[in-house]
């Protein structure tokens, strides 16, 4: 028989009062902190970087092998957890590129994964390339079932389970995703996800393939799915209506664990969640987590590399890296910035009156000043 922890005074479960107090304290230390929720993964998400898969579908994209290797290496050094590659079934060159990148010896936290159709033929090709994992996908909306592959949900489930079993037998990580998730029947989706979860997939995927979802729809679907499966949840958002970043954040709040991104958001049509944009959103409420995992100072370098490869300019309003991202012209904003600069300058001058200053000295003063401002918030 289980004992009652309250009987001996050992019940240390948080009360509503202590939880509320903790949330108030969190808000005082960071007023932009995400709303607390036991499902939320805003402080423990991972990135599936898809520039070398989704990004290849961008109108201007053509990555030769050398460029792919440069991008993969840069992304690995930046700190993304996964790099997703185009299926080797796409072409003979894609297969050779997949094999080359898989042999790079990128850090263990950064395995390469193939994105393939949910067929045994494609799965075998992917596993033969020596990748860490295989991402399989099949359309589940009525539109795709009718016009893409012509299978009903029973056939889709049977095929998915066969492919998952094969990939697992090859020792690869496996993610199963529905395509066009937000236009699929919810009951159909949940039954399919439950079946593949029971089969032992490492992640299930939710895809807003046509970019029609809103943050509220995303939150509702992911939260419902979180109650059905025990495995990780990956999400893929197209940006046709400008909601990709907001949708990604809503998904994490609802319990998703992985977000698909691409550098500068490049991809089919208007692209997907941009790597820099996602991290700009996440650093506001999850500063310590983001800065401890990703080398943000290398973001501009990666964006320059990809922008040159696809012959576009980095947008002026690109989060963090846009040329005017930190430009102030409104009087009230400029005054606040200038007041802080004046105070910082006076600190540097005061120290310079005591002894000569090197660049490292001024850097230290600036860092200390920044930390003081954070403490005052």
Query: What tens digit of pLDDT does each residue of 12-25 get?
Result: 545 556 655 665 66
From 147, 328, 333, 370, active-site residue:
333
* Residue from 164, 79, 73 nearest 126 by CA: 164
Q: What is the pTM of this model?
A: 0.79
More confident residue, 375 or 201: 201
Contact 135, 114 (CB under 8 A): yes
Is the alpha carbon torsion for 224, 229, 231, 237 positive or negative? negative
Tokens coding 176: 């199963």
Q: What is the pLDDT of residues 241-298, one digit of tens each?
A: 999 999 999 999 999 999 999 999 999 999 999 999 999 999 999 999 999 999 999 9
Strands (DSSP E) found in 252-323: 258-261
Q: How open is the CA angle 267-271-274, to the nearest 5 degrees?
A: 100
pLDDT at 3: 38
Catalytic site residue 333?
Answer: yes
Phi and psi at residue 281, to the nearest 5°:
-70, -45
Q: Has residue 95 got a pLDDT over 90?
A: yes
Instruction: Write the DSSP assignment of 95-138 as a string of letters.
Output: HHHHHHHHTS---TTS-EEEEEESSHHHHHHHHHTT-SEEEEEE
Compute and round to an integer the Cα radius of gyration of the chain. Answer: 24
Tokens coding 267: 């991809």
The mean-pLDDT minimum among 81-90, 138-147, 262-271 falls in: 138-147
Q: Has residue 355 got a pLDDT over 90?
A: no
* Residue from 49, 182, 175 nearest 110 by CA: 49
* Residue from 185, 179, 195 nearest 228 by CA: 195
pLDDT at 109: 53
Instruction: Write the DSSP assignment of 200-239 as a string of letters.
Output: T-SEEEEEETTS---HHHHHHHHHHHHTT--SEEEEEEB-
Contact 240, 270 (CB under 8 A): yes
Tokens coding 242: 């400008």
State how far Cα 74 lies from the chain centre: 16
Tokens coding 277: 């944009």
Tokens coding 360: 């490292």
C-alpha span between 323 and 328 (Å, rounded): 12
């Amino acid at each position: 028989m289980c004992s009652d922890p309250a009987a001996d005074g050992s019940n240390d479960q948080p009360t509503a009062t202590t939880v509320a107090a903790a949330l108030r304290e969190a808000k005082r230390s960071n007023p932009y902190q995400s709303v607390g929720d036991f499902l939320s993964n805003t402080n423990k998400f991972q990135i599936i970087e898809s520039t070398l898969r989704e990004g290849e579908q961008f109108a201007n994209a053509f990555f030769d092998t050398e460029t792919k290797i440069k991008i993969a290496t840069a992304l690995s050094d930046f700190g993304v957890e996964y790099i997703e590659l185009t299926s080797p079934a796409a072409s003979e060159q894609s297969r050779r590129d997949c094999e080359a990148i898989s042999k790079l010896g990128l850090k263990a936290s950064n395995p390469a994964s193939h994105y393939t159709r949910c067929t045994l033929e494609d799965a075998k090709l992917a596993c033969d390339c020596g990748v860490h994992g295989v991402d399989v996908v099949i359309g589940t909306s009525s539109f795709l079932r009718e016009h893409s592959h012509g299978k009903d949900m029973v056939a889709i489930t049977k095929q998915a389970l066969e492919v998952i079993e094969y990939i697992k037998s090859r020792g690869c990580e496996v993610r199963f995703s529905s395509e066009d998730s937000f236009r699929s029947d919810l009951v159909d989706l949940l039954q399919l996800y439950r079946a593949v979860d029971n089969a032992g997939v490492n992640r299930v995927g939710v895809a807003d393939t046509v970019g029609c979802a809103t943050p509220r729809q995303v939150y509702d679907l992911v939260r419902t799915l979180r109650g059905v499966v025990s495995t990780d949840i990956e999400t893929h958002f197209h940006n046709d209506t400008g909601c990709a970043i907001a949708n990604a954040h809503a998904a994490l709040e609802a319990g998703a664990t992985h977000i698909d991104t691409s550098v500068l958001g490049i991809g089919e049509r208007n692209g997907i969640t941009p790597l820099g944009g996602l991290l700009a959103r996440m650093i506001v409420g999850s500063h310590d987590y983001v800065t401890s995992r990703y080398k943000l100072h290398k973001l501009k370098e990666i964006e320059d590399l990809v922008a040159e490869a696809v012959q576009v300019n980095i947008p002026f309003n690109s989060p963090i890296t846009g040329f005017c991202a930190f430009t102030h012209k409104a009087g009230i904003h400029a005054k606040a910035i200038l007041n802080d600069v004046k105070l910082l300058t006076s600190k540097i001058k005061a120290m310079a009156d005591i002894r000569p200053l090197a660049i490292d000295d001024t850097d230290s003063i600036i860092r200390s000043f920044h930390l003081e401002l954070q403490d005052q918030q």
